[in-house]
Amino acid sequence: MLDVKNRGTIKVIDFGTSHHYDGSSHVMHQMYGTPYYIAPEVLVGTYTEKCDLWSIGVILYIMLCGRPPFNGATEDQIIDRVKQGNWSFRGDIWSDISDSGKDLI
């Protein structure tokens, strides 16, 4: 969860479904996650630890511009937008973000 009012605060929660990473890829099938941060492959039901990179990218996006890349009025709308995977660096805020910051995302 990102506290937008205090942009310096990030709270990482919900470790009840976490797994110890042993360095090898394991295909997972359980559906865990929060709509804003969930990777499309998790929604499909076949994914590896690489889905965490998607979530990190979403967190970085929010940290840099203050809003999620996939937004909607309902969870279903958010999930549909995550499945589509269309995001952009449009808007005035992105003109102040370095190319390195965008590349990191």
Q: Rounded distance, CA 97 to CA 83, Å?
A: 26
Q: Are 60 and 73 in contact (CB under 8 A)?
A: no
At 23 the pLDDT is 78
Could you tell me the domains of the chain? 29-104 (1.10.510.10)
Question: If DSSP codes are grouped into helix, strand and coil, which group holds residue 22?
Answer: coil
Q: pLDDT tens for residues 71-105?
A: 999 999 999 999 999 999 998 999 999 999 999 99
Q: What is the pTM of this model?
A: 0.80
pLDDT band with cut points at 50, 70 and 90 for residue 38: very high
The pLDDT value given to residue 25? 78
